[in-house]
Chains A and B, each alone.
Chain A
């Protein structure tokens, strides 16, 4: 049968950001997918050579338009290791709270986009209605909805008072109730399952060999999550990776849905155990040496390699974002799929191209 090349993206209704795939198809069956990047490359890593290492906290927050806080936390944690700074306990717990709030709103954003991707408009609106309230929490507690700038090298710059803590807990109770009402529709609805079950299958072995991370990896049944490494205060909180063994689009959506509920629980735990200490430690000297630091973004494992040479500028800041790691697995999911399933399968890695190209 003759082959045709169909372009997917960079502008496509299901893609919030520009990703281009050249799809080689036989009839309507995908035979091969080749990625093309470069539409939003900004050279943010290079900026490290001219910006003070403290200014870089604000730059790395802008690597991603969704999980900004987690980028900053990873960068700060790397520098704290390099400069041998002991972060106060309260700052560690506050980092957990804000980073999990970011995971909640990121997953809700994705769940809405995914529902929109398979044409379920009202479900999309329900998810985003819930998400808005999480954005309100960010704005009320940190002054902004997405780029919240709470992390500094040595700790955090903002605190949560008792009133705010009570309000967050009340809001989470309401949000969880509303979210649970959507669970049956998202995970058990006939039409939703027709579009997601068996679509874009990735086995556990493929996922590991191709370097998959985050819900893409855990949706293939591999219980690996960088939060298990115990960064911030995760070593003092009860937490198990959410997995689903099916490896298809449905499994990846289930992992994200259940992780949203789990993150609410983690925020509750963190607030209930919030210690009473300083918010930040003093940071002596300038960074020297090489460090590798990892955290778990909503899309998966994030890695920073940092090299300091004793000056105020970092010699190298290297960022490996989760979507960058999840593109090869996406290329493996698509062969054999139908052309109409490509938007669904592509969405299930939760592509963040802003992160990927930096």
Chain B
């Protein structure tokens, strides 16, 4: 039953199955809603692939080392090019096969790519403990 708000129940997926899965979803008529990236803090990231068919969502979770290239699904879903480039800016993730690679300049200026390591935006404040 479609719902507007759900506790995330994502199917784990391996890196080498991401593109084939995307192709299968594309052929079934799924719309790529977006991808979400979460830095797990242990050198890995969670990459979620959110798909929709008739308002019902399906999610996949890829847990992947940050320093290894992620297979791009942009050759299947052209719309993925923006979110993959955004993830490159935000998390310094590299995507293999990206149809249009801004090389970390989707949001950032050219010179920043050579001077700052990701994440490019660091915030430090003094916080009270809980």
- Which A positions have Cβ atoms within 8 angstroms of B? 34-35, 37-38, 41, 43, 46-47, 49-50, 77-78, 80-82, 208-211, 224, 226, 228-231, 289-295, 301, 303, 305, 307, 311-312, 315-316, 318, 320, 324-325, 327-328, 332, 357
| A115-B86 Cα distance, complex, nearest whole Å | 33
**Quick one: which of A38, A81, A294 contacts B107, CB cutoff 8 A?**
A38
- Nearest residue (CB) in B for A217 is B31
CB contact between A50 and one of B2, B33, B125 (< 8 Å): that residue:
B125
Between A and B, how many residue pairs show CB distances below 8 Å?
Answer: 111
In the complex, what residue of chain B is closest to A318 when comparing beta carbons?
B36
Taking CB atoms, residues of chain B closer than 8 Å to A307 are 38
Other A-B pairs, 6, CB within 8 Å; known A81-B5, A211-B34 = A47-B123, A80-B5, A209-B78, A291-B5, A312-B130, A320-B33
CB–CB B5/A293 < 8 A: yes
Chain A's nearest CB lies how many Å from the CB of B20?
Answer: 18
Chain B interface residues (CB < 8 Å from chain A)? 2-8, 26, 29, 31-34, 36-39, 48, 50, 54-55, 57, 59, 77-79, 81-83, 100, 105-109, 119, 121, 123, 125, 127, 130
Q: If A210-B78, A211-B77 touch, does A325 touch B34 (CB 8 Å cutoff)?
A: yes
* CB-nearest residue of chain B to A224: B55
A292 and B38 contacting across the interface, CB-CB below 8 Å: no
Which listed residue (B36, B77, B81, B107) contacts A41, Cβ 8 A? Answer: B107
Question: Smallest distance from the beta carbon of A315 to chain B beta carbons, Å?
Answer: 7
State the CA gap A309–B34 with chains docked (Å): 23
B78 touches A208 (CB 8 A): no
B7 engages A290 (CB within 8 Å) = yes
How long is the Cα–Cα vector from A81 to B9 in the complex, in angstroms? 13
A154: shortest Cβ distance to chain B, in Å?
A: 14
When A78-B5, A291-B8, A303-B33 are in contact, do A209 and B59 touch as well, CB less than 8 Å? no
